[in-house]
A and B are shown apart, each in its own frame.
Chain A
Amino acid sequence: MTTPVSGAFSGAAWMRRFADSARATEPQLTALDQQVGDGDFGINLTLGTDAALARLDAVSAPDDAAALDAAATAFLDDVGGTSGPLFGLLLQSLAASVPSSGATAATLAAGVADGLAAIRRVGEAAPGDKTLVDALTPAADALRSAPAVTPPAQALAAAADAAWRGVRETARLRASMGRSSYLGERAEGVPDPGAVGVALLFACAEGPVRDLTPFLDGGGPA
């Protein structure tokens, strides 16, 4: 469940909460990926967020763009495999779109849209392929439809709600891309771990996530 955070939005605080939440939910992510992938998604996500923390610590008082850029470089450079670097592309697009004067709903929307486009170009995945695209697409749609005056954390929370709905949809899908495509119907009923990671990222803009269960069961924010 999310805990509302009062006060101004901070990209650095967002990335730190993402790191805390990735570590807290790593066993659940690993258990999911052991059912539909090769079991390394949770570890790779925490490798990325831990590297992001190290890179954040090396920057004094990072503004939103610098914080997102540090996290992007961590995921792009410091994580093996492909899912971590694909997260890096999303973060890099956010970093490039958000001005150093601070994120707004509009700049976040533009960054997520760019990131989604880059991930789709690289991964050659479309909605319905049971990949992280199935969480990122509704999140991008939610951000695009948020009024320009929406506070950034609130816009991202709406994106998170949309992403969790996308995550739950992936449980009904049969994969045609990525590792779980080799499993065919055996992967049905299990949500895509990469999609869960995307929803987790957006959810952390508002507050930390300690347990994935309510979100995967649909008992989380509607």
Chain B
Amino acid sequence: MARYFENSGETLVSDALRGFALAHADLLTLDPDHGFLLARDTAPSRRVALLSGGGAGHEPLHAGYVGRGMLDAACPGRVFASPHNRQVYEGSCAAARPEGVLHIVKNYTGDRINFGIAAERLARRDIPCARVLVDDDLASDSDEIAAGRRGTGGTVLIEKLLGAAADAGWGLDELQRLGDRLAARCRTLAVASAAHTAPTLGEPAFRLGPDELEYGVGIHGERARTTARQGRLGPLVERMTGELLAALAPEPDRPLLTLVNGLGAVTPLELYAVHGELVRVLGQHGLAPARALVGDYVTALDMRGFSLTLLAAEPEDLARYDAPVHTAALRW
């Protein structure tokens, strides 16, 4: 048993949101009735607002990226569950700029439907709305999976780059095209050596043997299609990176953005060791990160695992990456 620190399972998400809004009151406000967080002061130059959302349990995604240079609003659902269309609709109405709102949606059936219903409601109010679908998870790239690849760690990079373009005053269509291009050039692969603690049971969502590894996990505690031997870190990162590079086939002149992301219960010590191996393996392929992030950016409660994300960017994306950002979880 590993019980969550909570008043009750029913109130954990709303209690956390209240605390989050109090801790970051300089950046954002919480609308508790409609269930969204709204940035206080994203750039006045924005013609289009950026809104994202998804299940709770992935913190700091998405609330942690509300603020200057990234999201105008975020709609958190219950743990691992899509936000309600009402949250997305109300949040979009509150955040919308003169040329509307762009929804950044991770590819899950529930999220697609709820954001889609909100988009239909926005159309009735003549608020322009477009969608960027993030589907970076390489492990779910299969003809057998009709729903398509899942959206995972790459979301944070795409939200950052879109934020800079929105600050530059881009229109809705331009932002959507940029987002589509980034999503198409972004892949993520995740592994876990232990499951997250299921909130209702206080027990691991699944159990693995001493040297077993789930290879290709998502961010909702579901098992992967493959269970592998964990072994040493070097060969593991070689295998993961090799598969990502095979899928992306990045040209050597393309700047590579990398993200080594903890899934909730891996130490920073380990994550930096992963990054060191990643740089070594990329070097063997004649590649190097142009920019690198290491840390817990898109988690799966307390899953003991990490993900690797590669984004094969364009040269002009680097200025977008470097542009100032000031949110709870990302700032420079």
Chain A residues in contact with chain B, CB under 8 A? 76-77, 80, 82, 85-86, 88-89, 92, 96, 118, 121-124, 176
Q: A76-B86, A82-B110 are in contact. Are A92 and B121 (CB under 8 A)?
A: yes
CA–CA, A85 to B86, complex, Å?
9
Q: Decide: A82 and B120 in contact? CB cutoff 8 A.
A: no
Interface stretch among B111-119, B169-177, B267-275? Answer: B111-119
Q: Which of B114, B119, B124 contacts A82 (CB 8 A)?
A: B114
Closest 4 pairs (CB-CB, A-B)? A122-B116, A82-B113, A118-B120, A77-B86
B120, A121: Cβ atoms closer than 8 Å: yes
Given contacts A76-B85, A76-B86, A77-B86, contact A89 B114 (CB under 8 A): no
Task: Report B55 CB to chain A, min CB distance, Å.
Answer: 14
Contact B113 A122 (CB under 8 A): yes
A122 close to B86 (CB less than 8 A) = no
For A92, the chain B residues whose CB sits under 8 A away are 120-121, 124
Which residues of A sit under 8 angstroms from B85, Cβ to Cβ? 76, 85
Chain B residues proximal to chain A, CB less than 8 Å: 84-86, 89, 110, 112-114, 116-117, 119-121, 124, 146
Q: Which residues of B contact A118 (CB under 8 A)?
A: 120
Cβ–Cβ contact B86 & A123, under 8 A: no
Q: Is the CB of A85 within 8 A of B124?
A: no
Q: List 12 A-B contacts (CB under 8 A).
A: A76-B121, A77-B86, A82-B114, A85-B114, A89-B117, A92-B121, A92-B124, A122-B113, A122-B116, A122-B119, A123-B113, A123-B116
Instruction: Please name the residue on chain B nearest to A124 by beta carbon.
Output: B112
User: What residues of A have a CB within 8 angstroms of the CB of B89 in the complex?
Assistant: 76
A82-B110, A82-B114, A88-B117 provided; 18 other pairs, C-beta below 8 A?
A76-B86, A76-B89, A76-B121, A82-B117, A85-B85, A85-B114, A85-B117, A86-B117, A89-B117, A89-B120, A89-B121, A92-B124, A96-B124, A121-B120, A122-B117, A122-B119, A123-B113, A124-B112
A171 to chain B, nearest CB (A): 23
Residues of B within 8 A of A76 (CB): 85-86, 89, 117, 121
Shortest Cβ gap from A204 to chain B (Å): 23
Most buried by A among B117, B121, B124: B117
Question: What is the CB-to-nearest-CB distance from A207 to chain B, in angstroms, rounded to a whole number?
Answer: 30
Q: How far in angstroms is the closest Cβ of chain A from B120?
A: 5
Closest chain-A Cβ to B146's Cβ sits at a distance in Å of 8
Query: Which residues on A sit within 8 Å (CB–CB) of B121?
Result: 76, 89, 92
Question: In the complex the two chains form, what is the Cα distance from A123 to B119 in whole Å?
Answer: 12
For A179, give the chain B residue with the smallest CB separation.
B109
The smallest C-beta distance from A37 to any residue of chain B, in angstroms, reads: 14
The residue in chain B whose Cβ has the minimal distance to the Cβ of A77 is B86
Chain B proximity of A1: nearest CB distance (Å):
34
CA distance A92 to B86 in the complex (A): 14
Which residues from B are CB-within-8-Å of A80? 84
